[in-house]
Chains A and B, each alone.
Chain A
Amino acid sequence: DIQMTQSPSTLSASVGDRVTITCRASQSISSWLAWYQQKPGKAPKLLIYKVSTLESGVPSRFSGSGSGTEFTLTISSLQPDDFATYYCQQYTDYRSFGQGTKVEIK
């Protein structure tokens, strides 16, 4: 099974900050990597798929990069609506998620 590890687990930031979350896979997953945002009590929302393709309707301040085993999600200028938990997911070998990164207000 492919294990996904995110860092950090919690991130404290202010509105306007540039934020980067890292996701590492236990083996190569090529480009089959997605990012989700989840707010308390809500279903996850797809932000990015295939490493860097922005889902329709997602603001352009979100971007993804990486390949093989190391990937990043970047929020270029953090907005109040962005305080949430973010998950990466690989979908090359079944599916599996990272443990999540909570972005909280500093």
Chain B
Amino acid sequence: EVQLVESGGGLVQPGGSLRLSCAASGFTFSSSEMDWVRQAPGKGLEWVSYMSPTGNNIYYADSVAGRFTISRDNARNSLYLQMNSLRAEDTAVYYCARDRGPAATDFWGQGTQVTVSS
């Protein structure tokens, strides 16, 4: 069974940092493209970042470029999102998701809540 379990969310002050983790199981993580997607309260989905299986290709949304860093540890079947210089507008549920490339993003975790507030 495919599973993605996010962790690391919480309450942080503006300007602070947070590191999200995503533990993957039930599929070959080391061969899988991965995404982070977020959803602000009452709002739609916003793609945040993408990483290829080996990490050779990495992309970010303009809204987080220069502040967020995606990474992975294929030996630990884990995906990460380091978030620095956090702003109130970064408040959202953050999902990690398996990206099948031409066959789109097919599986999502349950999400982890990030709240940026003083």
Contacts and interface: CB of A to CB of B under 8 A. Distances in A.
Interface of A: 1, 32, 34, 36, 38, 43-44, 46, 49-50, 53, 55, 85, 87, 89, 91, 94-100
Nearest to A45: B108
B68 interface: no
Interface of B: 35, 37, 44-47, 50, 59, 61-62, 95, 99-111
A74 B92 CA distance: 30
A80 B35 CA distance: 31
A44 B45 contact: yes
A10 B104 CA distance: 25
Contact of B111 (A43, A53, A97): A43
A-B pairs, 6 with minimum CB distance: A49-B104, A43-B108, A34-B104, A95-B47, A100-B44, A97-B45
Contacts, number: 58
A87 B61 CA distance: 18
Contact of B47 (A43, A85, A94): A94
A36 to B, nearest CB: 8
A50 B102 CA distance: 7
Contact of B44 (A46, A55, A91, A98): A98
Given A32-B102, A43-B108, A91-B104, A99 B35 contact: no
A55 to B, nearest CB: 7
Given A43-B95, A43-B111, A96 B106 contact: no
A94 B50 contact: yes
Given A46-B104, A94-B61, 9 more contacts: A1-B62, A46-B105, A49-B100, A49-B104, A85-B44, A91-B104, A95-B50, A95-B105, A100-B44
